[in-house]
Structures are given as structure tokens and as C-alpha cells.
Amino acid sequence: MLGILLITFPFFALVLCGYLAARRGLLPQAAIPGLNTFVLYFALPCMLYRFGANTPLAQLLDGGVVAVYLLCALIMVALTIAVTRNKRIGWNDASFGALVAAFPNTGFMGVPLLVALLGSQAAGPAIVTIVVDLLVTSSLCIALSRLDSADAHGAEVAAKNALRGVALNPMPWAIVLGAVSSGLQLALPAPVMQTVALLADAASPVALFTIGAVLARSQMNSVETIALKDYVPVALIKLLLHPLLVGGVGLLAIYAGLSLEPFALTVIVLVAALPSASNVSVLAEKFGADNGRIARIILLSTVLAFFSFSAAVALLT
């Protein structure tokens, strides 16, 4: 367990550094969008491209991983909405609560952390889960969030906007380009690859620092008092139920004869054990959901994940 904590501690410590820097004013709030832009449009795509290009194509097209992870994501969305939606929490807030319960922080935190723990072969299954969450889980929850709208076409419009957002997101394209490079055995010219490598190496530390800063900004800008019952259960669903669900469904799938490697199952269970994706807070704000509640879920899941994720790694490896 100590060996695991020695690996996981620096990742969570960088999140804490970003949080403290923003809380104490060392990092101005106006600078946080710039950090987000650097990570989302430059560093993270280069990291995902490099992992994709160095991962066998068969791992990036693993149907067993897609089937198990996608089914569990849909169950998580349906279950979280059913548990949390009430007179105070409508479709909009319930849907983004479901998204934050089903969408792990795989891109900013998960891929580099899992590679550090399990080796480079963990990148393939983890990247597959990113594609599922970006293409399906996010689009579904955004569409469901519009069901409160009086406009009968609200969900349809939201779904189109979500798909447009996916098309403009550089992460899926970086994964696709990496997969093409892997499948065709293509290599970038040496100077270009060195540039990509420099940006890729910067992705993990800057992304983790940015997560902390984003969480601090959301907390500082939230003026409403949020009841514990409105966010603690969702954080626990994310950290406890999600990995248990993925593990259980994965074992049943293997027993039923689905082509799913035990190692790949271990990776996606650990993906599910990650804290909630920090970018959901940005989406919630954009679509008018209770961003204070979403930010608290993300913050609590990130704090608790230092212990729960490390325990999951100890149990599975």
C-alpha cells in the first residue's frame, strides 16, 4: 500500500497545489481559463496522440471494453437521475449530477496515473473510456438536461449542441489521429515529434494543477449553501458504486464469453474509481445547472479518491 501511495500522492498533491494557489490569490482567477486552454488544446491532445500512436490498434478498438463500460455508464446515468431527481432538483441539475457521477477524470488525471501504476499498456483501455464518455455519456446527459425546457425540441437542440461540442473538442481527434498512426505505422518527423513530446510531458502536471485551481474557483464563486444530502451521495455513488458496477458487469461479461481481457477489466474498474471529471463544472455553468452543487461533488470526490482510489489499486493489483 505504501508503494501505491508513493505513486498516487504526487498526482493528488499537484491538485492541492493548484487549489491552494487559487484560494490564496497566487493564481488569479483570470489566469485559470488560460491554463484550461493550454491543457485542452495543446498539452492533453499531444499526450493522447502519443499514447494512441504507441498503443496497438487492437487495444484501441476493444469491443469488450466499449460494451462493458458503455453499459455501466448508461446504468449510472439512469440510477443517479432516479435517486436524485425531486421537486428541488429538476432534470437539468439531476442530469449534470448524473454526468458527474458517471464521467471520471480520465483525461486530466487517469491516463498518466494509470500508466504510472500499471505501465504503458494501461493507456489503451483508458483511452477507450474517454471516447465513450465524450461521445455518449456527455451528449446523453446534456440532452436529458433540456427536458425541463418548455420547448419540445429542447433535448434535440441540446443533443445537436453536444455533438457539435464533441466535434470541436481536440481530444477525440487526437485519439483518432493516434489510432491512425498506430494502425498505419506512421511516424511524425523528428522535430515535430519532439515538439509533441514536450507538450505531452507538460500535460499531466499542468492538468492536475489546473484541476485544483478550477475546484477552488468554483468553491469561491459559489454563494449558496448546498445541503449535504444534495452532493455527498452522488460523490459516494461515483467513488464506490461506479467501480463496483464496472467490475461486476465485467466479470459477468467474461463469464458469458465476451472477449474482455482481465487486465483491461482491471484498468476500466480503476478508471471508474477515479474522481469526477472537473470539466463537468464548466458544462454545468454553460447550461445553467447548479454549478455550486456540481463543484462540491467534484471537490469531495477528488479529496476522498486519494484514499478510495489507492485502496482500489491495492485490491486489484
pLDDT tens column, 26-76? 999 999 889 888 988 899 899 889 888 888 888 888 899 999 999 999 999
Distance CA 208, CA 109 (A): 6
- Residue 27 domain flag: no
254 touches 262 (CB < 8 A): yes
Residue 150 has pLDDT above 60, yes or no: no
The angle at the Cα of 100, spanning 96 to 103, to the nearest 5 degrees, equals 125
How confident is the model at residue 42, as a pLDDT? 93
Distance CA 82, CA 154 (A): 21
How confident is the model at residue 230, as a pLDDT? 84
Residue 166 has pLDDT above 70, yes or no: no
Domain count, the chain: 1
- Closest to 133 in 3D by CA, of 289, 304, 271, 309: 271
pTM here? 0.87
Distance CA 113, CA 106 (A): 9
Q: What radius of gyration do the chain's Cα atoms show?
A: 19
Q: What's the chain's average pLDDT?
A: 88
- Closest to 234 in 3D by CA, of 92, 88, 81, 32: 81
Residue 163 has pLDDT above 70, yes or no: no
Q: What CATH number corresponds to the domain at position 79?
A: 1.20.1530.20
**What range defines the domain where residue 183 resides?**
2-22+32-316
How confident is the model at residue 240, as a pLDDT? 96
With b for 16 or more beta-carbon neighbours within 10 A and e for fewer, the 99-122 pattern comes to bbbbbbbbbbbbbbbbbebbeebb
| Average pLDDT of the segment spanning 105-134 | 91
Lowest mean pLDDT among 72-81, 147-156, 268-277, 287-296: 147-156
**Confidence band, pLDDT 50/70/90 cuts, at residue 271:** very high
User: What are φ and ψ of residue 120, in 5° steps?
Assistant: -65, -25
- Residue 180 domain flag: yes
**Confidence band, pLDDT 50/70/90 cuts, at residue 316:** very high
How much of the chain exceeds pLDDT 70, in percent?
Answer: 93
Residue 185 has pLDDT above 90, yes or no: no
Helix axes 44-53, 111-118, angle to 10 degrees: 40
Of residues 304 and 149, more confidently modeled: 304
How confident is the model at residue 155, as a pLDDT? 57
- Residue 219 domain flag: yes
| Average pLDDT of the segment spanning 265-274 | 97
How confident is the model at residue 218, as a pLDDT? 79
**Confidence band, pLDDT 50/70/90 cuts, at residue 153:** low
How confident is the model at residue 215, as a pLDDT? 85
Q: Tens digit of pLDDT for each residue in 216-258?
A: 887 787 766 777 888 899 999 999 999 999 999 999 999 998 9
| Average pLDDT of the segment spanning 142-162 | 67
- Closest to 290 in 3D by CA, of 107, 140, 148: 148
Half-sphere exposure of residue 307: CA atoms within 13 angstroms, side-chain side: 5
207 touches 108 (CB < 8 A): yes
**Confidence band, pLDDT 50/70/90 cuts, at residue 99:** very high
Distance CA 77, CA 80 (A): 5
Distance CA 44, CA 15 (A): 16
- Residue 296 domain flag: yes
How much of the chain exceeds pLDDT 90, in percent?
Answer: 50
